[in-house]
């Protein structure tokens, strides 16, 4: 009695198909991780971004992100720890701002900038926005903190994030978050649709 063998696909065909599909694919550059913050058990921003890098990004988005990463000037504190931040571009309706202020837009992604310096924060912020734009996300939360550990220097990172977001062409509006979501230490950010 002869054994009946199922006709299994040839392994060399699978390998050839895989190689054809992977032609032209290049590995991503290594991710620089920010210094560890022993107090925080939250995932580091770079780790969160590394996960997002697995998603395909268009060359145009990469080029725009590289332009935005251009040299960063050191920002001095211009806002206080408890000051509420509000920004909207022309064309953003009052109804959209009301919804954003009340936290009615679902937050689709978050970036926590605790424990990073200004240069690292700028790079992470620009890449975070580019990744979320490429993924078609509309509302994100950025946690910048209140600068309580900055002493007399004030809320430096909060001031820097405020200035950077106002200049970023993909940001249409932002407001300080509700107390449950970080209050004046975080922002709801509305991205260009």
pLDDT score recorded for residue 78: 76
Q: Is residue 88 part of a domain?
A: yes
Residue 162 located in a structural domain: yes
Name the pTM for this structure. Answer: 0.62
Question: What is the predicted pLDDT for the residue at 77?
Answer: 62
Tell me the C-alpha distance between 97 and 172, whole Å: 10
Flag whether 35 is in a domain: no
pLDDT value at residue 60: 41
Residue 183: inside a domain = yes
Question: In the chain, how many domains are there?
Answer: 1
136: three-class secondary structure by DSSP? coil
Is residue 37, in this structure, part of any structural domain at all?
no
Q: Measured between alpha carbons, how far is 189 from 165 in angstroms, rounded to an integer?
A: 9
For residue 187, CA distances in Å to 101, 116, 141 come to 10, 17, 6
Q: Is residue 41 part of a domain?
A: no
Torsion 135-181-162-35 (CA) sign: negative
Is residue 187 assigned to a domain? yes
Contact 17, 35 (CB under 8 A): no
pLDDT of amino acid 65: 46
Quote the pLDDT of residue 52: 45
Q: What is the pLDDT of residue 113?
A: 94
Strand 110-112 to 139-143 pairing:
parallel
Work out whether strand 171-176 and strand 110-112 pair parallel, antiparallel, or are unpaired: unpaired
Q: What CATH code is carried by the domain that includes residue 175?
A: 3.30.1370.110
pLDDT tens digits, 130-184:
999 999 999 999 999 987 666 656 688 999 999 999 999 999 999 999 999 999 9
- What residues make up the domain containing 183? 74-193
The rounded average pLDDT for each run of 10 residues, N- to C-terminus, in the chain (193 residues) is: 52 77 75 46 46 41 46 65 93 96 96 92 96 97 84 79 95 97 96 92
The burial class, CB within 10 Å (0-12 / 13-18 / 19+), for 128 is: buried
CA atoms within 13 A on the CB side of 7: 0
* Domain assignment present for 17: no
Query: How many helices and strands (H and E) does the chain possess?
Result: 6, 5
- Provide the pLDDT for residue 112: 96
Q: What is the pLDDT of residue 11?
A: 62
């Amino acid at each position: 009695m002869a054994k009946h063998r199922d006709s299994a696909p040839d392994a060399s065909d699978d390998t050839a198909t895989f190689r054809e599909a992977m032609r032209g694919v290049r590995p991503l550059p290594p991710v620089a991780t920010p210094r560890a913050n022993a107090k925080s058990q939250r995932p580091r921003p770079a780790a969160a971004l590394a996960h997002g890098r697995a998603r395909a990004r268009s060359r145009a988005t990469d080029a725009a992100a590289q332009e935005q990463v251009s040299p960063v000037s050191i920002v001095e504190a211009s806002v206080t720890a408890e000051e509420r931040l509000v920004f909207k571009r022309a064309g953003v309706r009052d109804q959209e701002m009301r919804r954003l202020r009340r936290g009615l837009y679902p937050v689709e992604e978050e970036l926590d900038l605790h424990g990073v310096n200004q240069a690292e924060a700028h790079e992470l912020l620009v890449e975070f926005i580019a990744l979320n734009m490429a993924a078609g996300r509309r509302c994100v939360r950025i946690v910048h903190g209140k600068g309580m550990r900055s002493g007399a220097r004030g809320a430096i990172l909060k001031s820097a994030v405020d200035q950077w977001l106002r200049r970023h062409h993909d940001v249409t509006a932002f407001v300080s978050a509700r107390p449950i979501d970080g209050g004046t230490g975080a922002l709801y950010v509305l991205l260009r649709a």
